[in-house]
Each structure stands twice: as structure tokens, then as C-alpha cells.
Structure 1
Amino acid sequence: MIFVQPIAEITVGTSVLAQPFFSFLNHPLLATANETGAEQSSLILAGVLVSLVVIYIASKVGGELCARINLPPVLGELVGGAVVGVSALHLLIFPESGSQAADSLIVKFLETTAGLTPESAASVFSAQSETISLLAELGVIILLFEIGLESDLKELIRVGPQAAVVAVVGVVAPFAAGTAGLIYLFNISAVPAIFAGAALTATSIGITAKVLAEIGRLSSTEGQIIIGAAVLDDVLGIIVLAVVASLAKTGEIEITNIIYLIISAAVFLVGAILIGRFLSPYFVGLVNEMKTRGQLLLTALIFAFILSYIASAIHLEAILGAFAAGLVLAETDKSRELEEQILPVADIFVPIFFVCVGAKTDLSVLNPAVPSNREGLIIAAFLIVTAIVGKVITGFTLWQPGINKLAVGVGMIPRGEVGLVFAGVGSASGALSESTEAAIIMMVISTTFIAPPLLRLVFKDKPDSADEIQLDSATSQDSSSN
């Protein structure tokens, strides 16, 4: 026993410290435990640092390559994650994918350079992976806060009935077709089918806006309908995501539960916006009175994290609270300054989320040479067709003559960063199988790649007064996809 050893035998340098309390602290067994704990913490930190180096390199290399061929950088982050993840290099892997510490090249690197022992490898690998996953979750919260900041609540309220019809049909049609098809054609259970169907609903504002500006159609009637509907699509898509993510957590699908979740999501979003608009003058006044560094950014993040916590506490997704906080603060006279200040924070955390989504996606399940993978390929093909057709038909719901209805539908096709958010949340919740998650990723990639050339093709006629359109408006909206 530790306490029966004579105090005289446990001195620490001098007899002055030979007291029972200090003697206990200096016991060899406890000292060894403390040294082991400190050493393990140091190794965990080292693993996290190396993981972040890998993530940022993958993010920038992939993003730069995509930017140079006029594709969204977020796709490069996704592909970069797939390269360094379980699909290829095994640099960034996670236990939930079935990987072990011995499979991680980062763990092997720590064993070679930092003295990590095989006995400690498993615990260090688990802690390092959990830390990166938490940083990725923080990244998606900041991403949705940024998207909310870049949205215009007044424009959302003023969106015309045509854009509203396109948005609603663009959410309902692919969601219903995708969910029903996965359940009845592929015998996929209800929760993952609903999650995959929900991933078909959103539209990437940034990608579509940039293409419309480049071809001189951003200010056209079709362009305004597309952008308005895409903004509404994001709002509806986030509500749908909050509902299906909550369903994935409970594992139960009950009509009363769905109705409760929809109502609670809508009430929370509307209530947060109304209360936030009431409190926003006090927010501005508080920021103006503060004299310390970072007063605007930190106060805004406190507000966003509070709403995110409330959303989580009532069994909704934290990202819904972050989005609501962004919408509220976008209405203040500090919005432009806050947008500039949040960009560096987003540049640090958001790539972690997208690279982790790619890293966790095992693309080997789509290898047609393996017979068991062919179902995943068929599911991916089904989702791609449903994603395209489900959005193209939205243009033909418009009643106003003289509108290029096909162009409106095609403009709604790209899923971009919003679709990746669905895939990432679905993966984190455990609702998606490897083949279904990979199929969703393939759908996001395919729709995002195919939409820009198709949009240019359907706008064959000469643009009207397009030369005066500034690319800045599209670029500012596109920053939400980075």
C-alpha cells in the first residue's frame, strides 16, 4: 500500500518537504503515472498537429487545382480528403470506419519520430481522431454561421411566389423520389433512406451565382428566380437536415415525432430570428462600448454558440442555431465588418470539416470489380439521376410566359457544399452505410461538375445587358462554398 511506506524513506530533495502530502505525491508509482499521462498528452497533441498539417495541405492542394479549372474549391477539399483518407494514403483515418491504430500512417510517423510505443498507440489514435472530429464539427457550425451572415433576411422575405414554388418543388420532388426509391427499389431501411433523400434537396447558391455572373445572366428574370429559390432551398434544406439528423439519433420514425421536429425547427428558427432582431441593437451597443481586442468577433461567436447550444438542447442540430445567429447578425450595421472578421476563422476550421468528410469516405466501395460493391454503384447512379431530374422539373412549374424554364431547372442542379454538409452529418450520426455515404458523395461531385457546362449550354441566346453585371456579387455569395 502507498500509505504504509515510512515517510523518512520518501524524501524529496530536502527534509523540509518530508511531509505526508508531499511524500504521497512523490511516490514512484504515482510519479510514473504522471509522467506517462503527460507523455501521452504530448503525443496526442503531436498527432493532432500532424493531422492538421495533412488536412491543410490536402485542402489547399485540392482547392487550388479545382480553382484553376473553374470548379468550386470545396470539391478540391473533398477530393483531397479522399486522397489522404481511408480511400488512398491512410494518413487521416478514424476508428468509426473500422480502422485501427496500426493502419494510420500518422501513428507510424509518431512511433518513428516521437517515441510513441505500441502499447500507447491505440489510446493516442483514438484521442487524436476524436479531437479532429470535434474540430470538424466546430467547422460546420462556423460554416453555417458564415452562410447565415452572407444571406439577406429581407431578400428572403421579399422572394417572389415563383421562387418559392421552385424552392418547394425542388425540395419535395427529389426528397420524395430519392427516399421512396431507396426504400422500395433497394430495400434500404427508412432512416438512411430519408437521410440520403434529404441530401438531394439543397442547392449550392455560390456555384450557381458564379456561373450566372460569368455568362451575364445573374440579373435576368431566370437568374433572379434561381438565386431566390436557391436561398430558400438552403433554409428549407437546413430545417430538413435538422429533422432527419434528429431522427437518425433516435432511430425512430413516428409521424408525431416528425411533426414535432418540423414544428420545433420552424419555431426555433423564427423565434430565434425575431428575438435576435429585438436584441440586435443591444448587441451593437455592447460591441461599441467594449475596448478590448476581438470584441465584435468573440461577441458574435458567443451569440452563435448560445443559439447552437439551445438547438442541440431541444434535439435539433447545432448548425440550425448557427445559421439563425448569422441571419440575425446580418441585419445589423456590423454585418460587413463581421463577415470580414469571420473569414479567417472559417478558413481555419471549415476545411477540417470538408477534408474529414472526404477522408471518412471509402471510395473503394464503389469499385465495380468487387461484386458486393455493385449495389453501391447502382445506388449512386440512381441518386445522380434523381438529383438532376428532381431539380430540372422545378423550372416547368413556373406559369409566367417567356421564361427559360429549362435554364431555371438546370440552375438548381448543383449541390456543392450544402450536400457535403448532409453527407458529413449523416456520417457522424452513423445513419449512413459506407456505400450509401459514398453514393451521396458521388452525387454531390457529379451534380456540381455537370451544372456549370449545362447552364452555359441552356443559355444559348445573347445575354441582355449582362456586361454591366459585377462578378463581385457572385463571388461574395460563392465564399460560402469555400
Structure 2
Amino acid sequence: MIEEESIILLLVLLVGATLILTILIKAGLEQVGMPAIVGYLLLGFLMRLVDVQEQLLSAQVLEVYGFFAELGIISLLFRVGLESNLSGLLSQLPRASIILVGNLILSGILGFVSAYFLLQLPLIPSLFISIALIATSVGISVSVWQEAKALNSVNGELLLDIAEMDDIAAIVLMSLLFAVVPVLNGEVEANFLPVLTQIFGPFLLKVVFFSTFCLVFFNYFERPLTRFFEKIEPAPDPMLMVAGTGFIIAALAGLLGFSVAVGAFFAGLVFSRDPEAVKLDASFSALYELFVPFFFINIGLQLESQALTAALGLGSILVIVAVLGKIIGTGGPAMLTVGWSSAVLLSISMVPRAEIAMVIMQRGRYLGDWAVPPEVFAAMAMVSAVTCIFSPLLLRPLLQKWVLGSGYE
């Protein structure tokens, strides 16, 4: 009993200290124009590095941090969905489709070819890398565009459209990958007919069921629920109802065999169609700021020091691949449609990989070393940190220069 009480007190102490440190890290890095997630990753890794004897980070403590990280994933993807304008994205598809297709194809193919053929990694880790490199961390670049007062420009809106679309594509591809992983790992017979019937058949049925559930919930239950909670109690109760519903939908997606991240994203999309629910996003920010740092801290906690040596060489190559995939894949098509200066800005803005990319890698890491080995996980964490640091450093002076120039849109 005394030992259990000591563990609980230690947990309270560690969580409290972590929350204080995340505030200080975010405030400090914002002062120098750096994204906070880099600091969160480093904090998690340093916590693991310092606690060599595992006196503080026991199995129980890591389990609690893992639970908070899971809530962080749900909060993160729920907000991505909540801030997405699906009808707006569909209306912009003709304008952004050429850039989007080049961006997706080159980033994905270059990632897979480099991992599988150049680095000689197994098939499944190569596929995880490929899909992770498709996704863009739109939040990193958007903050720089907002700072330059350029987000409402034609190019700023185009950036948002392309980044949100490739995040959606990465999430969909992640779902498909989890559906075929049993076949690729030899758990299911890999003949054509069994794959079709045993994997894609049930997967499509689950997609139809989950999509139908989301549509029915939005059309018949979402608005009455939101109005009911607004009536009986003012803020923050309506926001808590929205967040609680998002958690339930995310859990349902997990029970169906999808990732909770996928469920949270689609729950956010459901509420994004209701203007009143979107207004609650400001209130949701408190939960977002509470849980999301734990997701990145938990990634740092999972980085194995012995894997870092192997990850340096691997990560260096993947950083180059990550940069080239977006620079060429976005910049090439953009140069044909919006001009060279806009193409440069858009391609650099698409380089950061953080939230969605690391969600994909962490989901794979949970499957085991056969899906995402420790050195691959550490290498992709390195890709995330490097791209999130250097992209804003390159983008900021270019935006300052071209925004101040005449004729920029």
C-alpha cells in the first residue's frame, strides 16, 4: 500500500514538473522562432537518458505517460480534422490537384525507393517511412506565414489546401497499410484471392460502417447535442462534450481495427461542418496544450540511446530524401502553375514533418521491431526535428523579402 502511494506521488510530481517544463520550453523556443515540438522530443529523450537506472521512469510511470500520449494523439488529430474545411478543400481540388499529385507521388516513391533499395531496409519499415514522408506539418510553416501576414494571400491559402490534403492522404494510406500489414508480415496467406476477401473486403466494410456512423451522428445527433449542452451550462461544458464525443469516436475506430488517430481525425471532420462547434475550438485549445506535448515527450522516451548511432547515418539520408521529396514534388508542379518565387515558398513550407509523420511511425513502433525498428524510429524522429528547425529558418527571410515586395499574392 505504501509502495503504491509512493508511485502515485511520484507520478503527480513528474506530471506536474513535465507540465511546467513544457510551458517554459514552448515560451523559450517561440522567442527564437523555433517549434516547441523539438524541445518536447529532446525533453523526453533527456528524461530517459538521465534515468539510466530506471528509478523514476518505472513501467507504471511509462504506462501513464503512454496513456497521456494516446490522449495527445487523439487531441492532435481531432484538432486537425476540426480545423479542416472539407467542402472548401474539395472546391480547391482542381487548382491544387497538380501540385498535390506531384507532392504525394514523389515524396512517397522517393521515400520508399531510398529506404528499400538504397538503405536496404525490409519492406514493411520502408512502407512506413514512405507514408510518413508524405505528410506535412502544416502548423510549423503556417506560424511563419502568419508572422509575415501572408497566410490570407493566394499562396497562403494554396499552402493550407495542399498541406491539409496530403495529411488526409497520409492518414488514409496509414489505414490501408494497417489493413495489409498482416499479409506483408506473413500472418495471412498472401495469394491474390485471400488478400481480396480476407483483408480488403472486411476493411471496406469497416470503412462503410464507420463513415455511415459519422454521417448519421452529424446529421441527426451532433447539433441537438451541442445545443443541449450549450443550454444547460455555459462554457466550457459544450467544449468538453465535443472533446468527449471525439474520444468516443476515436475509441470506436480503434475497436474496428483502425487507428485511434484516424477516428479522432474523422471526428474532427464531423464537427468541422458545424460553425457553432468550430467556435468551440478556442476552448478546446486548453486540452490540446495539456495533452499534445505528452505525445512528443513519449516519442523522446521511446528513443533508445544505443539505436542513435545507427540512426545518425540512416537519419541523415532520410533528411535529404524528405527535403528533396517536397522541394521537387511540390516545387516542380508549382513552378508550372504559380511561378518560381511562389514555388520556392510553397516547397520549403511543405518540408517540415512532425505530427502526422510521427503518429504513423509510433503506430508502427507499437506493432514491434519488425514493423518499425528502433533505429528507424530514431531516424524519423531526427527527420522531424531537423526539418522543423531548418524549414522556418529558410522560409522566414524569403517571406519577409517577397511580402515586402510589390505584387506578392
CA–CA separation in structure 2 for the residues paired with 1:218 and 1:292: 32
The aligned residue for residue 415 of structure 1 is 353
What RMSD, in angstroms, separates the aligned Cα atoms of the two structures?
3.0
> Runs of 5+ in structure 1 lacking a partner?
1-37, 92-102, 108-124, 368-372, 470-482
Aligned partner of residue 334 in structure 1, secondary structure: helix
Q: Percent identity?
A: 24
Instruction: Summarize the alignment of residues 351-366 of structure 1 with structure 2, pairs less than 5 Å apart.
Output: 351-366=293-308
**Which residues in structure 2 correspond to 1:206-217 (within 5 Å)?**
206-217=139-150
Per mean C-alpha deviation after superposition, the further-off stretch among 135-144 and 292-301 is 292-301
> Residues of 2 paired with 1:402 and 1:186: CA distance?
35
Structure with more of its chain in helix, by fraction: 2
Counterpart-to-counterpart distance in 2, 1:258 and 1:198 = 19
Q: 1:59 aligns with which of 11, 14, 22?
A: 22
Cα distance in 2 between the residues matched to 1:191 and 1:157: 32
- For 2:331, the equivalent position in structure 1 comes to 395
Indicate if the aligned counterparts of 1:174 and 1:391 stay in contact, CA closer than 8 A.
Answer: yes
Kindly indicate whether the alpha-carbon contact (under 8 Å) linking 1:50 and 1:106 is maintained by their aligned counterparts in 2.
no
Pairing 1:333-482 to 2, within 5 Å after superposition: 333-367=275-309, 373=310, 376-393=311-328, 394-398=330-334, 399-400=336-337, 402=339, 404-430=342-368, 431-456=371-396, 458-459=398-399, 460-461=401-402, 463=404
Whether 1:184 aligns to 2:122 is: no
Which one-letter code corresponds to 2:38 in the other structure? L
Query: How has the CA–CA distance of structure 1 residues 287 and 203 changed in structure 2, closer, same or farther, with 3 Å as cutoff?
Result: same
Q: Residue type of the partner of 1:395? A: G
3-state SS of 2:134 partner: coil
Aligned residues: 394
Alignment of 1:298-313 (within 5 A): 298-313=240-255
Match of 2:75 among 121, 142, 147: 142
TM-score by length of 2: 0.85
Higher relative contact order (CA 8 A, sep 6+): 2
The residue correspondences of 1:13-412 to structure 2 (distance < 5 A) are 38-85=1-48, 88-90=49-51, 103-106=53-56, 125-245=58-178, 252=185, 256=196, 259=200, 263=204, 267=208, 270-271=211-212, 273-279=214-220, 280-291=222-233, 295-367=237-309, 373=310, 376-393=311-328, 394-398=330-334, 399-400=336-337, 402=339, 404-412=342-350
Which protein shows a greater Rg? Answer: 1
- Shift, 1:412, TM fit: 1.0
Does the 8 Å contact 1:230/1:412 carry over to 2? yes
Distance 1:307 1:285 in 2: 19
Match of 2:164, SS state, is helix
Which runs of no fewer than 5 residues in structure 2 stay unpaired?
Answer: none
Equivalent residues of 1:268, 1:311 under 8 A apart: no
Give the 3-state SS of the residue equivalent to 2:172 in structure 1.
helix
Q: 1:249 to 1:136 in 2, by over 3 A?
A: farther
